[in-house]
């Protein structure tokens, strides 16, 4: 991975091309870190110049990401940990059984403000995590497709397939073929924030970019989008499974 000195600090970065990029971009991604993204068939100006021109933004973003990391809960899937569901905090209550009934496996159940997790005594952290993630995935599959169809019908959109994924940073995406991806972690945020993300992706069916025209369409569909956009930026990093 190439490296550059910015304001006396050594910074690793990656370079890639994107057919969707209309201009040169500087981005942070969970998997690759700092990136310079060029439109297809373009490599000017050189990445070093792009990074130098964006140095202040890069360091501000690095500071914000470091703060978010410090706020992120260390998941052990033990009694007392807080998980959010539909915007409300739920306390995890772990029960370990020496032997589960023959017809039962590890399972998760929402009861009031408690998220009950029952596992065998031998269950390791990975198994407990898998059960919690599976529960959120099931809730997402039960709610998100129907809500997306409802909002699409209300606003005159038509999408193709809808897939539920578990992603670290992206709440959703829309393909050029009109298919939607939604993050199962949406089940952790308030319903109004879920609607914003769905409407955001539906708007990409008409504007597959983030142009001024796109944001006007989003504002028309979701007048308070700027509030929920800021809310997700602030709270998203700590809403992890």
User: Per-domain residue ranges for the chain?
Assistant: 3-71, 82-238
13 Cβ partners below 8 Å, 6+ apart?
1, 2, 3, 4, 33, 34, 35, 36, 47, 51
82-238 maps to which CATH number?
3.30.2010.10
Residue 85 structure tokens? 């569901």
Q: Tell me the pLDDT of the chain (241 aa) as tens digits.
A: 688 888 888 888 888 888 878 889 898 876 668 899 999 877 778 999 999 999 999 888 888 777 777 777 778 999 999 999 999 999 999 988 876 555 556 689 999 999 999 988 888 999 999 999 999 999 999 999 999 999 999 999 999 999 999 988 889 999 989 999 999 999 999 999 999 999 999 999 999 888 899 999 999 999 999 999 999 988 998 899 9
pTM of the model: 0.78
DSSP 167: -
The owner of tokens 């310079």 is 36
Comparing C-alpha atoms, which of 130, 99, 140, 136 is closest to residue 115?
136
């Amino acid at each position: 991975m190439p490296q550059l000195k910015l304001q006396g600090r050594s910074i690793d970065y990656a370079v890639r091309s994107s057919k969707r990029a209309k201009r040169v971009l500087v981005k942070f991604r969970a998997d690759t870190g700092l990136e310079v993204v060029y439109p297809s068939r373009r490599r000017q100006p050189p990445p070093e110049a792009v990074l130098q021109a964006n140095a202040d933004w890069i360091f501000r973003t690095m500071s914000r990401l470091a703060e978010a990391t410090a706020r992120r809960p260390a998941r052990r899937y033990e009694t007392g940990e807080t998980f959010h569901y539909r915007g409300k905090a739920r306390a995890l209550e772990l029960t370990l059984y020496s032997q589960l009934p023959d017809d039962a496996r590890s399972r998760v159940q929402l009861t009031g403000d408690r998220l009950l997790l029952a596992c065998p005594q031998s269950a390791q952290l990975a198994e407990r995590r898998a059960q919690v993630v599976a529960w959120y995935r099931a809730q997402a599959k039960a709610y998100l497709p129907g809500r997306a169809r409802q909002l699409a019908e209300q606003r005159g959109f038509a999408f193709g397939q809808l897939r539920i994924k578990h992603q670290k940073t992206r709440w959703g995406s829309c393909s050029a073929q009109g298919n939607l991806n939604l993050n199962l972690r949406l089940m952790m945020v308030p319903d109004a924030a879920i609607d914003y993300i769905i409407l955001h992706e539906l708007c990409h069916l008409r504007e597959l970019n983030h142009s001024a025209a796109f944001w006007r369409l989003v504002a028309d569909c979701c007048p308070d989008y700027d509030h929920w956009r800021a809310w997700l930026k602030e709270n998203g990093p700590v809403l992890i499974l």
